[in-house]
Structure 1
Amino acid sequence: MSPPPRRVLIVHNPTAGRHKRRRLLRVVERLERLGCAVTVAETTCRGDAEMIAARATRADYDAVVAAGGDGTVNEVLNGLALVEGGPALGVIPLGTANVLACEIGLAPRDADQIARAIAFGPARRVHLGLANRRRFLLMAGAGLDAHVVAGVNIALKRHAGKLAYVVEGLKQAVGYDFPVLTIRADGVAYEGRMAVACKGRFYGGPFVAAPDADLEAPRLEVCILPAAGVTGMLRYGLALPLGKLPELPEVQVVSARSIVITGPRGAPVQGDGDIVARLPVEITIADETVDLICPLAVRGPALRASAALERA
């Protein structure tokens, strides 16, 4: 027998833009057509999504759905993780990179697939990462990428999407001094100019950075990039979309349950595309897990993106 449609609380940031609101409304319409009871809660400021999710209970909702980018997902999961046995986590991908959507094989513009997943899709238990005191689902890192996240122009991001990160990346690369970071992974020391602890395989969109990462596994895959300067970053920037970054001879990807990154004190640490901590940072597997709603087509123990997204 098919499971009953879920009772859904959608957490949405209304400043995302009119065209994204239209995409949201299309999903809501389909959810209601599938028989879901839908409540939409709009945020007014940073932190609202976490607070709304923390107050949601299984008595009222089967799922809390983050309608936005990976940063909105991060806020919602931090709220859900505060209460054991709370509602499952769903996503309506309305962001710039939508890395989580890539990870689970969810097409950001397919309103029918998104609605069917939220209404009836399997909920899989996933392990969270923890950067100091902040939980993350996909990745946390230090180095140039964190400085880009910290400095990106929000207005340009709303209008130009990923181009805003390219602009900020070029600007940062020219003035950035690429300090050495010390990465201690399960007690073993490494050095690099950038380090990303991955819970998922994808980074920056449909680009594989850590092929063995698995959201359901209680471990981190730590990608360590040692090259400095604009030339090194261009090399990595070209290798990533080609799926070759982990294959570069100087790049190391190591498995660990706990890492400590030290470098310039107070330098930013990004998690799921937002600044979540400052150096020094300890990144570990969190005690909490969440149930993540996936598309109906996803099967097996690992969360794998669809073949179409792999080829994107």
Structure 2
Amino acid sequence: MSISCAPTAIAEPTAAPRRVLVIHNPTAGRHKRKRLQDVIDRLERLGAAVVCRETRMRGDAEDFAALASPDTCDAVVAAGGDGTVNEVLNGLGRGPGGVALGVIPLGTANVLACEIGLDPKDCDQIARTIAFGHARHVHVGVANRRRFLLMAGAGLDAHVVAGVNIALKRRTGKLAYVVESLKQAVGYDFPVLGIRADGVEYEGRMVVACKGRFYGGPFVAAPDASLEAPKLDVCILPNSGIGGVVRYGLALPMGRLSELPEVQVVSARSILITGPRGAPVQGDGDIVARLPAEISVGDDTVELICPD
């Protein structure tokens, strides 16, 4: 099948392969388009019915997902990065329900793929997961009425997400975030953020409310976080300046961030973050809200297709 994309159809994971609507973000790059085509070819060989729709502008993925109906498809699959997954997730929240969420990881960090154990380069694993994989019942976070699956945060990381050079990101991947982090660390004033977590007051210079364990790729920020649990693991980082950025930047890839003595990790159902009004809040690697931000997790759920 060629990638000349339109709406979808699917079935139950048990015996029959699913009917799948793939929503593809074409900014992923040519070599990743080849990977997408490989996954689609494998899905069709497994007997899955596949329809692909290609986004042309921001918001398309959300609109396409909102139109997905369980009468015509079993799963909507986001083919792109974590931002594309976030758009699809929000579209499913507007739709009729009963449609599962899947992913073909084609992005820079692919944090969701790390979280569920999906190898971005293993096209066979990806195709088999989408066609037959188990659907996990996961609780969704909400930041100022915008859904997120993995994390939402304010402070330096949100400013980095807001300011990263998209052209550089497409050429260099994660290096673009390192460059922007260093730029922001020099010019950013690290204002104090107020955090009220289930009624308890905290302060920090950066805060990330985690639904999953991973942050920025294969780096564990909140080791006890769980997609299935109706709770947030809130990481509160108090240090500012280039020293704090370097300290946290070294601890994260070593899996030591939550072990630093000044870092607090608290569990909560809801938090309120206050700080400079209008400052950005990132969710799943895209800007999804502005301060002040109410972030919570409750009964809102999605069926997330995962490897067995």
Give the TM-score category using the shorter length: over 0.9
Q: Secondary structure of the equivalent of 1:81? A: helix
Task: Indicate conservation of the 8 Å contact 1:135/1:286, yes or no.
Answer: no
1:288 positional shift: 2.0
Residues 153-192 of structure 1, C-alpha deviations (whole Å, 9 max, x = no match)? 0000001000000000000000011000000000000000
The answer as to 2:98 corresponding to 1:89 is no
Task: Indicate conservation of the 8 Å contact 1:56/1:86, yes or no.
Answer: no
Equivalent positions of 1:141-160 (< 5 A) are 141-160=153-172
* Farther off after superposition, 11-20 or 55-64: 11-20
Residues 2-48 of structure 1, C-alpha deviations (whole Å, 9 max, x = no match)? 51000000000122211110010010010001000000000110000
The answer as to 2:261 corresponding to 1:249 is yes
Counterpart amino acid of 2:230? P
Among candidates 42, 45, 52, match of residue 33 of structure 1? 45
The answer as to 2:115 corresponding to 1:103 is yes
Q: Distance in 2 between matches of 1:212 and 1:15?
A: 34
Q: Secondary structure of the equivalent of 1:202? A: coil
Q: Secondary structure of the equivalent of 2:94? A: coil
Among candidates 27, 37, 46, match of residue 15 of structure 1? 27
Q: Distance in 2 between matches of 1:53 and 1:114?
A: 20
The answer as to 2:234 corresponding to 1:222 is yes
Residues 202-243 of structure 1, C-alpha deviations (whole Å, 9 max, x = no match)? 000010000110000100000000001100110000000000
* Aligned residue in 2 for 1:300: none
Task: Indicate conservation of the 8 Å contact 2:66/2:95, yes or no.
Answer: yes
* Farther off after superposition, 77-86 or 16-25: 77-86
The answer as to 2:90 corresponding to 1:67 is no
TM-score using structure 2 length: 0.95
1:86 positional shift: 2.6
Q: Distance in 1 between matches of 2:300 and 2:195?
A: 24
The answer as to 2:132 corresponding to 1:117 is no
Residues 99-119 of structure 1, C-alpha deviations (whole Å, 9 max, x = no match)? 000000000000000000000
* Aligned residue in 1 for 2:178: 166
Task: Indicate conservation of the 8 Å contact 2:280/2:290, yes or no.
Answer: yes
Task: Indicate conservation of the 8 Å contact 2:143/2:294, yes or no.
Answer: yes
Q: Distance in 2 between matches of 1:105 and 1:131?
A: 26
1:84 positional shift: 4.7
Q: Secondary structure of the equivalent of 2:254? A: coil
Paired positions, count? 296
The answer as to 2:244 corresponding to 1:232 is yes
Query: RMSD across aligned C-alpha pairs, in angstroms?
Result: 1.0
The answer as to 2:273 corresponding to 1:261 is yes
Residues 220-276 of structure 1, C-alpha deviations (whole Å, 9 max, x = no match)? 000000001100110000000000000000000000000000001110000000000
1:120 positional shift: 0.2
Counterpart amino acid of 2:37? L
Q: Distance in 1 between matches of 2:278 and 2:14?
A: 51
1:83 positional shift: 3.0
* Aligned residue in 2 for 1:302: none
Instruction: Give unpaired runs (5+ residues) of structure 1.
Output: 297-312
User: For the structure 1 residues 215 and 2, does the alpha-carbon distance in structure 2 shift closer, same or farther, using more than 3 Å as the test?
Assistant: closer
Q: Secondary structure of the equivalent of 1:191? A: strand
Counterpart amino acid of 1:206? P
Task: Indicate conservation of the 8 Å contact 2:203/2:238, yes or no.
Answer: yes
Counterpart amino acid of 1:101? A
* Farther off after superposition, 105-114 or 10-19: 10-19
* Aligned residue in 2 for 1:210: 222
Counterpart amino acid of 1:288? D
Q: Secondary structure of the equivalent of 1:189? A: strand
1:125 positional shift: 0.8
Q: Distance in 2 between matches of 1:134 and 1:286?
A: 13
Counterpart amino acid of 2:92? L
